[in-house]
Amino acid sequence: MSTISVIYFSGTGHTQKEAEAVHQGAAAVVGTTTHLIGINGDDIVKGRYKNDTVLATLDASDAVIFGSPTYMGGPAAQFKAFADATGERWYRSAWRDKLAAGFTVSNGPSGDKLSTLQYFFTLAMQHGMIWVGMPETPMNAQGINRLSSYSGVMAQAGNESPDVAPNAADKLTGELLGRRVAEAAQRWQIKA
């Protein structure tokens, strides 16, 4: 049995839709418990993230999947406030050897989303986590990994409402990431 937590911030609902797809993929793996955790404004007071229940849930997880829209070439300030609040966990190596992955959404096909994924990667490395990327190539009929990212999932919001975007291919890519992390967590537990 493994536990996967998807923690994300969504400003307009697009990233929430992608988070739900990632969560659905992880939850589809038998023997996996999942948590879908949205970062909300009530958790941020005077610029600082504070939610001990969420942090305890992440402490008890085998894998954490990070998600944020890409704003101005990086993760949203709300996600960054959460990340800064993990410093005490860093100090005591609480997340060492947990699996990690990430996803991001922006309006354009590129939108500098790689910078956000690299931020998640660096956050995971700071914590001593093990990064899980995306092996799927973009040349397939289903449009999986259509934006060609191997570091994590990139999805596009476009000008569509959150009810539509990200599109079905981007959500399917998110599901595959969730499933990959959940399967890797089960293999990692056996070896750990």
- As a whole number of angstroms, the distance between CA 23 and CA 83 comes to 20
Domain that holds residue 165: 2-191
Predicted confidence pLDDT, tens digits, the chain (192 residues): 899 999 999 999 999 999 999 999 999 999 999 999 999 989 999 999 999 999 999 999 999 999 999 999 999 999 999 999 999 999 999 999 999 999 999 998 888 999 999 999 999 999 999 999 999 988 888 999 999 999 999 999 977 776 778 999 999 999 999 999 999 999 988 655
Amino acid, single-letter form, for residue 115: S
Structure tokens at 99: 């699996």
Evaluate the omega torsion of the peptide bond into residue 162 and state whether it is cis, within 30 degrees of 0.
no
Model pLDDT, residue 141: 87
Structural domain count of the chain = 1
- As a whole number of angstroms, the distance between CA 103 and CA 8 comes to 9
Its pTM stands at: 0.95
Of 113, 85, 148, residue with least CA distance to 15: 113
Q: For tokens 């993760």, what's the residue?
A: 75
Structure tokens at 97: 């050897």
CA 2 to mean position of chain CA atoms: 17
Summarised one tens digit per residue, pLDDT across range 52-69 is: 999 999 999 999 999 999
| DSSP designation for 151 | S
User: What CATH number corresponds to the domain at position 52?
Assistant: 3.40.50.360
